[in-house]
Structure 1
Amino acid sequence: MTAPGRRSSTFTRLLRHGFTDPSAAERLLDSVELAGVRDDPVLLEALGATADPDLALLGLVRLLEAQPGPDRRELLDTVIAAKPLRDRLLGVLGASAALADHLTRHPRDWEVLVTYEPSDLHPGVLEFERGLADAADPVALRVAYRRCLLSIAARDVCGTTDVPQTAAELADLATATLRAALAIASAAAPEDAALCRLAVIAMGKCGGHELNYVSDVDVIFVGEAVEGVDEAKAVPAATRLAAHLMRICSETTVEGSIWPVDANLRPEGRNGPLVRTLSSHLAYYQRWAKTWEFQALLKARPVAGDLDLGAEYIAAVDPLVWQAAERENFVADVQKMRRRVVENIPVAEVDRELKLGPGGLRDVEFAVQMLQLVHGRADPTLRSGTTLDALQALAAGGYVGRADAVQLDDAYRFLRSMEHRIQLYRLRRTHLVPEDHADQRRIGRSLGLRVDPVAELNREWRRHAGVVRRLHEKLFYRPLLDAAAQLAPGEVRLSPKAARERLVALGYVDPAAALRHLEALASGVTRKAAIQRTLLPVLLGWFADSADPDAGLLNFRKVSDALGKTPWYLRLLRDEGAAAENLARVLSAGRLAPDLLMRAPEAVALLGDGPGGGLRPRGRGPLEQEALAAAGRAENAEQGVTAARGVRRRELFRTAALDIVGSYGTDARPAEADQGALVDVVGAAVSDLTGATLAGTLRAVVRAGWGDTLPTRFTIIGMGRFGGHELGYGSDADVLFVHEPREGVPEREASDAANRVVSEMRRLLQVPSADPPLLIDADLRPEGKSGPLVRTLNSYAAYYRRWSLVWEAQALLRAEPVAGDEDLGRRFVDLIAPLRYPAEGLGEDAVREIRRLKARMESERLPRGTDPKLHTKLGPGGLSDVEWTVQLIQMRHGWAEPGLRTTRTREALAAARAAGLLSTEDAETLDEAWVLATRVRNAVMLVRGRAGDTFPTDGRELAAVGRYLGYGSGHVGDMLDAYRRTARRARTVVEELFYGA
């Protein structure tokens, strides 16, 4: 029994040596296995130097317990006497509970740590093959594998090897293991081995000589027939051997498993044959392979089986790898794959992901691989499958700044070290930083952080991850600035040819022009140029992520030239996180938004999140007040309307920017609910803005001609999409004009005044301007184009009472006052209520007439030469189909269902579904089609700067529409197919609900 004083002294010493549970440690030190060395300072010092002294001590006691009697003393004496063994053994025991378990099961395996391996301390494949040579079955192979792993881990935790050397040794051990597994499989089926040549190609980290402790080993199998054997027999034989090899490594036995062998990087992935011939591989890569598959082949390396066949495979695919950067949308495809990986990480794990999260290992690897593929075509020195070797070569060749490369190298080494220590503990495949304090303490101490291991670990981890995030964003783009701006003398700089190669890979059609823009923006020693050099690396990445990088960069130069001397402009982009990204998205998304911005560059301030910024639409009330005030301050009608149009220009830009930013942020298609919400916001914002513009124009005209009071009350009724709050950027404003003479004013005088107001409003709004046109269309008035432009309320009442046709009643479903006298507007709505919601609904004659008119419109109004299936307005399943179907339901049932009495299509559709007038499935089908068609029309206007009802034919414009709709570059075919499919489903519903089919 330990004396109290001695216990207190030992307790303190144990705490000082890093033990967290001194009581348990004391009990272990008092155990019979440690008799005679309990107080040996050498032992305590050695335990205190490990990552987890408690774990190391427990492992040592368990190992001693597992030794036969005489061997126990031998082991203990050796540990005390031999420092190399002591450091290695205790270092492993303090870092890896899994390897401690292995040593307990195989108590003599500690002997592999007694002697150093070959003189350079870094064994290769041959040494590991010797270590696995006696493994004749899967169980023995697992034991031998762990024995070899024990020696790698010992060198690692003792600092004899660094991260790249450890990763290379792990890859070499994997190579030897694959060879041993293939030998076992071949011995089990010698008849199969005699029929074929089988090459095992390592991919991923194993192929790149940078394997983790626990990782899937990615492979591709290539098989050929031996001479005189038919391929039809050889390939199945090779497939059986490959499958057996995979089972030997992957299956769990009493000794656990080694690691999964993953062949999903093969052509067609898990759906493709496990083994292909060389010619079959080549045929696939030449015709069907995607960009990411060539990126994966960067690390391909023959490791087992027929190495000559493996070399033939590498020689055959190598030229294809280095042509990958010439593929259309190369960078976009690579970046899309990276984003998809991040998006698939559970939200709760993103901040703990060492490998896949932002600022993680994959960011380094992707950036390096992109640069290799772009410049490795012309520079063979870059063709390494090992990340850090490739990074060093990129820096030496001037493709990456040397300082950036050093920082990235340091960060990558630290993050890989963390990953190794995390996996080593339980030998489990994970890339998540554990949340447990004890786990983090062990990892921190294993990395040499001893003052406050947990705090230091988290601080260093976050610092390195931040470095990776920052450099990942600029690594591809910063050297372009140095090449263009010609700064930093003495720095190895990207050559003009390499700069052009990189810009072409990024999607720039005119790299020479792009370099000129970069030079103009970033050259010089002014503060302005310095800020631009900070901003441009990130902006260039966002431009490259668009359908038209050239336009994005050109537009940015124009805006910068216009606002460059304005002190707040660059400060806004630098200091407000959202502003720079929003600007990049807007400038590269098409013509409309940049054109609006060039007319009023100060609207850039709307893109920030500071005072006065923000893209949320302002609403009808504030807009109308501003337009009325602007018109009221003007000296004449022309200036008043110009002021109102200025408000419209700025707010139209705000809405377009909101639309672009809201649509642009993901490669995946936005959820349908999000699409619909965005359509509603845009439609309401443009409609409110149009109403406010008309109100301001009306005020300007009345003030110029009559002062404060017009001789007649005057109101404007919105019709069609305007009345439905569904205007698009290029929509005409369908309206009716209504007036009512003021008391004592002769009707002739009132009518003349009203007609003069309408004529003057139309004239002033049609004055040529660089702004998007606002055309007033009054063709839905009684008697159409042959009727008077403006009528009194009584005249409308008389006409509708005597002459109204069913199509006019249908048009009135969307009538809503938008400007002018509010009371007169309300009375007009009361007047038309019985027409648009007829009591007891529509008679069959009226229903037939509506159907006849719709069929006639379909046959007569569709433009010649247009593909009907892609016409968003008049084509099958388009806007007209959905709207006429909804309106027929409104006219038949609106008298009984209050929810149907709305001018908004989607609201009416939802009300019809709630009332049971159509099924939920049919309502969702129509809603999806209407939302998609509306988004396409909005996209066309945003991209082309002019309205259109069908998809553009120009490839770049079509790609920009696709990007707006959530389809990445190169996927416009998927977009068109999806539109046709959605419209086709909607047309089926329309046939049933509208035509009664």
Structure 2
Amino acid sequence: MTSRPASTLTLLARLGFSELTSARQTIEALDATPGAGGITEHLEVFGRAADPDRALRALQALLDRHPDALVPALEDSEWMRRLVRVVGASEGLAQFVLRHPGELRQLQSDPGEPLSSEAYRADLVAAVEGLDADAGQTALRVRYRRHLLRLAAWDLEHPDPLAAMPAVGAALADLAGAALEAGLAVARRTATFPAAEVAATRLAIIGMGKCGARELNYLSDVDVIYAVDAGDGVEVARAVEIGTRLATATARSIQEPGIEPPLWEVDANLRPEGKDGALVRSLDSHRAYYERWAKNWEFQALVKARPLAGDHGVGEGFLAITQPLVWDSSQRDGFVEQVQGMRERVTAHIPADEVDVQVKLGPGGLRDIEFTVQLLQLVHGAHDDRVRQRDTLGALASLADHGYIGRAEAAEFSGDYRLLRVIEHRLQLDRLTRTHLMPRDPERQRSIARATGLATTADELMAQWQTTKLAVRSLHEKLFYRPLLSAVAKLPDEQLALTSDQAEARLAAIGFADPARALQHIAALTSGVSRRAAIQRTLVPVILQWLADGADPDHGLLAFRRLSDALGETHWFLRMLRDSSGAAQRLSSVLAASRFVGGLFERTPEGAAWLEDDAELQPRPLTTLLDEVRAILARHAVDDDAAAKALRVARRREILRIALAAMVDVINVEQLGVALSDITTAYLQGALGIAHRYGDGIEFGIIAMGRYGGGELGFGSDADILYVFRDAGAGDDAATMAQRVVTRLVAVTDDIRLPFELDAGLRPEGRNGPLVRSLTSYRAYYERWSLTWEAQALLRARPATGDEALLADFMALADEVRYPAEFGEADAREVRRIKARVESERLPQAADPARHLKLGRGSLSDVEWFVQLLQLQHAARVPALRTPSTLRALAAAADAELITPRAAERLRAAWLIASRVRSAAMLWTGKTADALPLDRTQLDAIARLLAYPPKSAAQLEEDYLRTTRLARQVFEKGFYGS
């Protein structure tokens, strides 16, 4: 006798009961009730109930009050299973059958699929036939809940609740429409107006929101708008008056207190002017309002509008008035931004203590999905009626089918939406209350989890919900705020018809120099029935606008076509252009601004993906670059040509990365110099790894010089270097082997696509001296023959690549030469003499000294020579000056008070603007340029690359000339003493 209670408690716990002792007592009492049958024999049915304890209590209450109605159900296992499932998930429906025990019969048989809209309407109207207002109200509500009971039973027993969700939402909306139709029938029959006038008053009830979209909740407000038209024998004003009474009476039959509790609230606040507006308007009044006064949010609300009850003709008339306006609304100024702001305001107004439990309004909730889908619909539906669905899931599918959203994103949103809606349904079914808040009580969470059929514990449900919220919020932010939406919304209708006779004129008007060729590119991008062509048809009009904002739209479009052809049907490329936050606009901007980048994209089209993520545009550290170089050499250890090709590909790829980063302001000119220098070092290390195989037996090294040595390279800069070797047992053949290494190195680094210039002109004796020397030879030369300019050149020397011991020994030798303990006035005069000679002899003939970026007045040369003279004079006693970087040495000189801060800033500004202009000129033309252009088109293009607004050629010219003029004044005073 003692083991039975224990075993029963164990079974109850396994089935999901929480109140074990109470449940056992209730079961024993039911078993002992005459005629009730053995409840113990059916205990397994409670294992499928959301809340077994609540289900058991409901059975006890029914047996206590209506034993005759319940006993048949207890004797039928299928009936009992269905009943336990429903009352275990819904306290509200348990109370309904307790009030109306005869309705238990609705669960005796399989409820089957939800009824059609017409069947619901016919049954509810029949239920109120011939009844007065009070009796009709009760009959309507009971009949509505009868169908709700059967629908809940079907929903809760469905093997796939996510798949069932759309059908449940549609049935609930149809049932709501039927209730309004029945309520209106009672209102017409009991109206106090003359019957002929009532009959002539054609009132339509327009469903809005979820009801209009046929995706209603179990317990939700039903948003409506009333429209009326006058038939024969009644004036419009009289029809509005009667219609208002009918609308009021209809709502009263559904929402006012009565014998049977209200169903839900009939909410007419979406009508024109909201609560302050007339409840019922004529069609003409609606037309006047929506054409003149309606706000953007009102058109967004009308996306889901459909005739719900009443006069169908008037309902269709309402749609005929409003729908064209709805799909034109996205072209209003600021429409997209207003919709985005409205969503943000909704989130901001959620009470702080509800944010983390909001299933509907909170971040990652249903509203994020609904707002995103509606905004996409409104923007693209203006030009494509295929995406004008009312329901969220249908709209998502259509947007994906026609290329406006990725299939993966649509599938993810669809799954998340279904899950959130199932959770919302179970929350509302729980007590038949309008709520969107997840309960904080773990027991209630467990009940909701079990009711969903997707989880069995509170923890499982909460984990699934949190994961879904994060995914929804992430996708919402990506799609809802993408710039393409604003851009498409701003396009006039004719911009999408690019094959009309006026297309060339329009292209010419926005800046294309060869509109006929542009049309050929457009046709190639958009022709066909492929998904790619469909997506491009949406993208191209917007991209044309962005290209037109650039300096060379024609080249930009050509480069975009080549890039699209190269990437073909690559899913990420089209997805990035359509969905990313700014990548399409960035790509358009760089293609229209840079021939250099366009050429690099031809070899590395996948680099377009970096524009989506600033982290991908960050320069890769030198250590990472060197790791890749070593991997390439290891992979192609016996194939020099393959290794050299792989190195060239890697260099082009990284220079493209840096070019893009510079153009979209991810890096500044100083970071650019370091990044390009690191790429050069990695490339040289790889090339030397190949070439050094031809010099086995010697130590070999490369010394970075000039701007490369200073880590201040720009686009198009040569790599100044010195070659050094040391005999390690090779004897007299060492020099021959070293020369062979250099020859092979030059051959390996030859790149027709992206030239790589190695310049050894700063070696001892300049171009008249040996190309490569031994360390011993360098030492002998510097000790006996070194000239001042050679010591000056060594100021920017640093190790690049090669044997570390050799490089260290060379740098020790360089330090002895470049940082002299004594540097007298005669030495300084020699530096000044050479600088004056450079200015007079090396400046190209007919070049304007004020405009030459490298050798002109106040340009790079002035700043660098000024700093180098200070280094020669003071680096022996000021360690901070011992740096190959011009800018760091300039800062150190200011810190050491060798130059005033104001003078240092003028020199720095001149160096920066000259460096930036030089790199921008290379980006623009793909060719090295050493002078500020005179051509205004060229100058404007360079100005745009420097972040000036369009048509800023004169401003850039003025800024450059003023900045270098001020720097020249500092230079002449400090360098020449004049």
TM-score, length of structure 2 as denominator length = 0.54
- Secondary structure at the counterpart of residue 31 of structure 1: helix
Inter-partner Cα distance in structure 1 for 2:52 and 2:540: 54
CA deviation vs aligned residue, 1:609-631 (integer Å, no higher than 9, x gap): xxxxxxxxxxxxxxxxxxxx999
CA deviation vs aligned residue, 1:27-76 (integer Å, no higher than 9, x gap): 21122586366754552111111111111111111122221xxxx24532
1:143: how far off?
A: 3.1
CA deviation vs aligned residue, 1:795-843 (integer Å, no higher than 9, x gap): xxxxxxxxxxxxxxxxxxxxxxxxxxxxxxxxxxxxxxxxxxxxxxxxx
CA contact (8 A) 2:114 2:171 kept: no
CA contact (8 A) 1:382 1:393 kept: yes
Aligned residue type for 2:473: R
For residue 63 of structure 1, what is the aligned residue in structure 2?
62
Change in CA separation of 1:702 and 1:456 when aligned onto 2, cut-off 3 Å: closer
Aligned: 1:91 with 2:93 = no
- Secondary structure at the counterpart of residue 384 of structure 1: coil
- Secondary structure at the counterpart of residue 220 of structure 2: coil
One of 59, 66, 72 as aligned partner of 1:77? 72
Change in CA separation of 1:277 and 1:515 when aligned onto 2, cut-off 3 Å: farther
For residue 538 of structure 2, what is the aligned residue in structure 1?
499
- Secondary structure at the counterpart of residue 101 of structure 2: coil
For residue 105 of structure 2, what is the aligned residue in structure 1?
111
One of 165, 168, 171 as aligned partner of 2:167? 165
CA contact (8 A) 1:400 1:479 kept: no
Aligned residue type for 1:241: L
1:222: how far off?
A: 0.8
1:459: how far off?
A: 3.0
- Residues 575-586 of structure 1 mapped to structure 2, 5 A cutoff: none
CA contact (8 A) 1:597 1:603 kept: no
Change in CA separation of 1:88 and 1:765 when aligned onto 2, cut-off 3 Å: closer
- Secondary structure at the counterpart of residue 19 of structure 1: coil
1:401: how far off?
A: 3.4
Cα RMSD (Å): 5.3
For residue 52 of structure 1, what is the aligned residue in structure 2?
51
Inter-partner Cα distance in structure 2 for 1:120 and 1:407: 27
Aligned residue type for 2:58: G
For residue 28 of structure 1, what is the aligned residue in structure 2?
26
CA deviation vs aligned residue, 1:767-795 (integer Å, no higher than 9, x gap): 9947999xxxxxxxxxxxxxxxxxxxxxx
Aligned: 1:456 with 2:472 = no
One of 275, 282, 288 as aligned partner of 1:283? 288
1:447: how far off?
A: 2.4
1:361: how far off?
A: 2.0
Change in CA separation of 1:113 and 1:570 when aligned onto 2, cut-off 3 Å: closer
- Residues 805-816 of structure 1 mapped to structure 2, 5 A cutoff: none
Change in CA separation of 1:494 and 1:326 when aligned onto 2, cut-off 3 Å: farther
**Paired residue total:** 630
For residue 600 of structure 1, what is the aligned residue in structure 2?
669
Aligned residue type for 2:4: R
1:213: how far off?
A: 0.7
CA contact (8 A) 2:203 2:226 kept: yes
For residue 179 of structure 1, what is the aligned residue in structure 2?
181
For residue 231 of structure 1, what is the aligned residue in structure 2?
236
- Secondary structure at the counterpart of residue 227 of structure 2: strand
1:503: how far off?
A: 4.0
- Residues 390-409 of structure 1 mapped to structure 2, 5 A cutoff: 390-409=395-414
CA contact (8 A) 2:116 2:171 kept: yes
CA contact (8 A) 1:103 1:110 kept: yes
Change in CA separation of 1:554 and 1:152 when aligned onto 2, cut-off 3 Å: farther
CA deviation vs aligned residue, 1:449-482 (integer Å, no higher than 9, x gap): 46x522322233233334433443555879999x
Inter-partner Cα distance in structure 1 for 2:529 and 2:77: 51
Aligned residue type for 1:540: S
CA deviation vs aligned residue, 1:283-317 (integer Å, no higher than 9, x gap): 22222333332222221111112211111111222
One of 339, 343, 351 as aligned partner of 1:334? 339
- Residues 979-994 of structure 1 mapped to structure 2, 5 A cutoff: none
CA contact (8 A) 1:479 1:493 kept: no
For residue 425 of structure 1, what is the aligned residue in structure 2?
430
Q: Which has the larger radius of gyration?
A: 2
Q: Which runs of 5+ in 1 are unaligned?
A: 581-592, 607-628, 644-696, 710-741, 743-752, 774-940, 948-997
For residue 472 of structure 2, what is the aligned residue in structure 1?
468
Change in CA separation of 1:211 and 1:704 when aligned onto 2, cut-off 3 Å: same
1:442: how far off?
A: 1.3
1:217: how far off?
A: 0.7
For residue 358 of structure 2, what is the aligned residue in structure 1?
353
For residue 140 of structure 2, what is the aligned residue in structure 1?
141
Aligned residue type for 2:461: L
For residue 362 of structure 1, what is the aligned residue in structure 2?
367
Change in CA separation of 1:14 and 1:106 when aligned onto 2, cut-off 3 Å: same
Change in CA separation of 1:139 and 1:576 when aligned onto 2, cut-off 3 Å: farther
Aligned residue type for 2:669: A
CA deviation vs aligned residue, 1:600-658 (integer Å, no higher than 9, x gap): 3848999xxxxxxxxxxxxxxxxxxxxxx999xxx99xx9xxx9xxxxxxxxxxxxxxx
For residue 241 of structure 1, what is the aligned residue in structure 2?
246
CA contact (8 A) 2:49 2:85 kept: yes
Inter-partner Cα distance in structure 2 for 1:601 and 1:538: 32
CA contact (8 A) 1:235 1:277 kept: yes
- Residues 476-875 of structure 1 mapped to structure 2, 5 A cutoff: 492-493=531-532, 495=534, 498-500=537-539, 503=542, 539-540=580-581, 574=613, 600=669, 602=671, 769=913
Change in CA separation of 1:541 and 1:700 when aligned onto 2, cut-off 3 Å: closer
CA contact (8 A) 2:539 2:578 kept: no
CA contact (8 A) 1:559 1:598 kept: no
1:550: how far off?
A: 7.0
CA deviation vs aligned residue, 1:872-911 (integer Å, no higher than 9, x gap): xxxxxxxxxxxxxxxxxxxxxxxxxxxxxxxxxxxxxxxx
Inter-partner Cα distance in structure 2 for 1:122 and 1:109: 17
1:337: how far off?
A: 2.4
Change in CA separation of 1:562 and 1:358 when aligned onto 2, cut-off 3 Å: farther
CA contact (8 A) 1:213 1:424 kept: yes
Inter-partner Cα distance in structure 2 for 1:411 and 1:242: 37
CA deviation vs aligned residue, 1:738-772 (integer Å, no higher than 9, x gap): xxxx9xxxxxxxxxx99x99999879978994799
1:216: how far off?
A: 1.2
CA contact (8 A) 1:214 1:429 kept: yes
- Secondary structure at the counterpart of residue 224 of structure 1: strand
Inter-partner Cα distance in structure 2 for 1:531 and 1:127: 47
Inter-partner Cα distance in structure 1 for 2:544 and 2:250: 40
CA contact (8 A) 1:484 1:519 kept: no
Aligned: 1:124 with 2:117 = yes
Change in CA separation of 1:13 and 1:505 when aligned onto 2, cut-off 3 Å: farther
Aligned residue type for 1:171: A
Q: Which runs of 5+ in 2 are unaligned?
A: 489-521, 620-661, 676-709, 713-787, 797-861, 875-896, 918-945, 953-978
CA contact (8 A) 1:198 1:224 kept: yes
Inter-partner Cα distance in structure 1 for 2:152 and 2:309: 24
CA contact (8 A) 1:167 1:212 kept: yes
Inter-partner Cα distance in structure 1 for 2:584 and 2:198: 54
CA deviation vs aligned residue, 1:166-221 (integer Å, no higher than 9, x gap): 11110011001111222333334341735632111001100001000111111111
CA contact (8 A) 2:205 2:315 kept: yes
CA deviation vs aligned residue, 1:229-272 (integer Å, no higher than 9, x gap): 33233323322332333343333345332211122222222232
For residue 265 of structure 2, what is the aligned residue in structure 1?
260
Change in CA separation of 1:106 and 1:561 when aligned onto 2, cut-off 3 Å: farther
Q: What's the % identity of the aligned pairs?
A: 38
CA contact (8 A) 1:131 1:148 kept: no
CA contact (8 A) 1:372 1:390 kept: yes
For residue 277 of structure 2, what is the aligned residue in structure 1?
272
CA contact (8 A) 1:330 1:506 kept: no
CA contact (8 A) 2:577 2:583 kept: no
